[in-house]
Amino acid sequence: MQTRGYLQRAGDDDSLAELQASLVGYMAQRGSSIVGAADTRTGHDPTHLQTATRGALTAEARLRHENEGAADCAAQPTVQPHHWDAAGATKTDGEGWRGGTALLSVGTAKKRMASRLDDARKWGRYVGRFYTGQGKRTLLVVEAYVPVSSFKPGTNSAAYAQELGRRASEYTGGVAKTRWQAGDPMPDPTKIQIAHPKRLMMADLALHLRAYADNPHYTVVLMGDMNVDRDRDQGTEDATSLEEMLATLHLRSCAEIRWGTAARKISTRSEGTAKSHIDHVFITDTAATSVDDFAVDEDSGLGTGHGDERGLDHNVLVVDLDVRSLLGVGTDTKKAAPTKRRAAIKYSDKKKTGRALQRVRHGRVHQARHGRRPYSAHRRPGARHGPSGSRPHRTRARRRSTMGIAPVAAPLEPERRRWHAAVANIDCTRGS
């Protein structure tokens, strides 16, 4: 949501405090797990937002507790864990903060929080948070606030775009784009990028998020006030910068994924009779099937159309994602209980079978060590063996001869031939 600066510290302004309470209360009532806010003007310290959110979540939990008619009315309702990430953009004397972004993580999202992602130039133009799943699966959500106007040198203005343009004009010592890696100073802005902070921000996002977008284990969600209408501004340099960034990061519009060509009729901001679609939610193209729904809440009760001149002038975007498929969580991962099977061998046969297995194992070990099986593997159990004068065991041929059946001549291995010859005291050097 584009908060129009109403998340800044209220101070003694009762009307601002009331509107801020309405914003935070709306977030609590929606039951969203992740909430992105642009143009917060709250700086880097979200302590007041943390306090306000806890109050709103507590009130919502109590209301739900009463409606459910809990048996133990004395029990305190459970308040979901929550965390704010805030990044301030620019601050001037007497003017306070300008721009700024923030992310709210509630419930399960808070429990799955990992590291934080900050603007690579430390300008507070965007802020992100990593959420971990099963294995290496990771969801990266980034909230961005793109400046709307161009930079005009010499203009005495504290506007968001003017401050970003001034910083860009003074930026030096950057690393070349082709050699840039995470942690390095960002490349020096070009003259065109200095004059158009919007295009500089698109290029910075593409460079900073590219490594995560190319990682097959990551899903990237980029959302916020982009200040570019992809249909109305088609063909302009600003729109071209946006499309190049989306192509680099492999991103698709959630609105188009859900509604197709009808998404062009969606408006996220109204100014008089003019309507535009400048707020967007993009997601990694391979995760398109995880987008269950996309909606624009035109009846949030927070806009100027409800009689409040200080209300929001942007509609709230709501996206329903199937996080179970994205992070591989929420599925039944319990292993099936091992099935007990009965032995196929009868209990009375186990001793005999054990002796047979022992002989087989002995033969395999001997063969592995000496390259051949031992003679004992071919003898009956308990028979003596060796070329030391002991009687050889009956071969199959001798047993058949004793039974009156003609023996079948079978070739003998060289070692066995020599052994038989030694027993019979026959010179076998010229063959048997």
Express each pLDDT in 52-85 by its tens digit. 899 888 888 888 777 776 555 556 678 889 999 9
Looking at 36-50, 89-103, 204-218, which range is the least confident one? 89-103
CA distance 5 to 9: 10
The answer to whether residue 119 is domain-embedded is: yes
> Using one digit for the tens of pLDDT, what is the confidence trace for 388-428?
445 555 555 454 444 444 544 455 555 555 545 554 544 44
- What pLDDT sits at residue 127? 96
Which pair of tokens denotes residue 109? 């999202």
Which pair of tokens denotes residue 237? 């340099």
Of 275, 293, 327, the residue that ends a domain is 327
| Residue 296, domain extent | 14-147+194-327
> Using one digit for the tens of pLDDT, what is the confidence trace for 361-378?
666 655 656 666 555 545
Together in a domain, 415 and 286: no
Of 292, 327, 362, the residue that ends a domain is 327
Together in a domain, 429 and 319: no
Q: What DSSP state is assigned to residue 2? A: B
Q: Please choose, from the candidates 177, 53, 238, 204, the residue with its C-alpha nearest in 3D space to the C-alpha of residue 117.
A: 204
Together in a domain, 262 and 119: yes
CA distances from 33 to 83, 121, 173, 375, 408 (A): 11, 28, 39, 74, 84
Total domains in the fold of the chain: 2
Together in a domain, 263 and 376: no
DSSP state letters, 290-343: GEEEEEEETTSS-BGGGT-TTSBSBPEEEEEE-HHHHHT-SS--PPPPPPP---
Together in a domain, 323 and 384: no
**Taking 70 as the threshold, does the pLDDT of residue 354 lie above it?**
no
Q: CB–CB of 171/193 below 8 Å?
A: no
Q: CB–CB of 173/185 below 8 Å?
A: yes
Together in a domain, 313 and 388: no
The answer to whether residue 169 is domain-embedded is: no
Looking at 79-93, 100-114, 230-244, 337-351, which range is the least confident one? 337-351
The answer to whether residue 269 is domain-embedded is: yes
- What pLDDT sits at residue 23? 86
Question: Average pLDDT of 322-333?
Answer: 78
CA distance 328 to 325: 5
pLDDT band, very low/low/confident/very high, at 380 (cuts 50, 70, 90): low
**Taking 70 as the threshold, does the pLDDT of residue 110 lie above it?**
yes
pLDDT band, very low/low/confident/very high, at 13 (cuts 50, 70, 90): low
Together in a domain, 129 and 34: yes
Give the whole-number percent of the chain exceeding pLDDT 70. Answer: 70
The answer to whether residue 363 is domain-embedded is: no
- What pLDDT sits at residue 73? 55
Identity of residue 231: D
Q: Please choose, from the candidates 189, 248, 198, 262, the residue with its C-alpha nearest in 3D space to the C-alpha of residue 224.
A: 198
Q: What is the CATH number of the domain that holds 26?
A: 3.60.10.10
DSSP state letters, 135-147: TT-EEEEEEEE--
Together in a domain, 383 and 292: no
Mean pLDDT, all residues of the chain: 80
pLDDT band, very low/low/confident/very high, at 349 (cuts 50, 70, 90): low
- What pLDDT sits at residue 309? 57
- What pLDDT sits at residue 216? 95
Q: Please choose, from the candidates 405, 406, 410, 377, the residue with its C-alpha nearest in 3D space to the C-alpha of residue 393.
A: 377
The answer to whether residue 174 is domain-embedded is: no
User: What pTM was estimated for this model as a whole?
Assistant: 0.73
- What pLDDT sits at residue 7? 86
Which residues face 253 on adjacent strands? Answer: 282
Together in a domain, 261 and 393: no
The answer to whether residue 242 is domain-embedded is: yes
> Using one digit for the tens of pLDDT, what is the confidence trace for 259-313?
998 998 899 988 777 889 999 999 999 999 999 999 998 777 776 554 455 678 8
More confident residue, 288 or 88: 288
pLDDT band, very low/low/confident/very high, at 97 (cuts 50, 70, 90): confident
Of these ranges, 5-19, 352-366, 373-387, the one predicted with the greatest mean pLDDT is 5-19
The answer to whether residue 278 is domain-embedded is: yes
Together in a domain, 316 and 376: no
Of 257, 292, 327, the residue that ends a domain is 327
The answer to whether residue 364 is domain-embedded is: no
Say which residues have a Cβ less than 8 Å from residue 313's Cβ, sequence separation at least 6.
2, 4, 269, 270, 271, 303, 304
CA distance 70 to 82: 24
Give the whole-number percent of the chain exceeding pLDDT 90. Answer: 44
**Taking 80 as the threshold, does the pLDDT of residue 8 lie above it?**
yes
Together in a domain, 298 and 401: no
**Taking 70 as the threshold, does the pLDDT of residue 249 lie above it?**
yes
pLDDT band, very low/low/confident/very high, at 342 (cuts 50, 70, 90): very low
> Using one digit for the tens of pLDDT, what is the confidence trace for 141-199?
999 999 988 888 877 776 888 989 999 999 999 999 999 998 899 999 999 999 999 99
Together in a domain, 248 and 388: no
